[in-house]
Amino acid sequence: MSDDRPASVADIVVEELRKKEINGPIRLPKRDFFTRGQKLKVKDPWHILSGYDLEFAGMSTRERVRVMLEWFGRRQTIALPINSVVGCPDCNHSAHNAH
């Protein structure tokens, strides 16, 4: 939007979107990320949080996850890009691995 008016969209874009409408509005596939309490780990072995067990606490924004971890003796919640973490079925059940 600019000048309090809706942005214009090319007719071809509108036509392509209308082709996807079947029995009502377009339904986007549900994105299954993680479940609350699920153990996660950072993908990058050089990341400062590599080696820490993270616990999924929810979504921060569309592309960021909130994770809990024990940091300097306290439970902390931080946000990380969703593509920087993966599920960790073999993670220790404690909130922190020895570092």
CATH at residue 41:
2.30.30.30
Q: Is 1 inside a domain boundary?
A: no
Domain limits for position 64: 11-87
Q: Is 67 inside a domain boundary?
A: yes
Q: Answer whether 85's CB lies under 8 Å from 60's CB.
A: no
Lowest mean pLDDT among 9-18, 30-39, 61-70, 86-95: 86-95
Q: Answer whether 70's CB lies under 8 Å from 96's CB.
A: yes
Question: Over 60: is that where the pLDDT of 37 sits?
Answer: yes
Q: Work out the burial of residue 95: count CB atoms within 10 Å of its CB; fewer than 13 is exposed, 13-18 middle, 19 or more buried.
A: middle
Question: Over 50: is that where the pLDDT of 96 sits?
Answer: no
Helix (H, G, I), strand (E, B) or coil at 83: helix
pTM for the predicted model, two decimal places: 0.59
Helix (H, G, I), strand (E, B) or coil at 87: strand
Q: Is 95 inside a domain boundary?
A: no
Number of domains in the chain: 1
Q: Is 40 inside a domain boundary?
A: yes
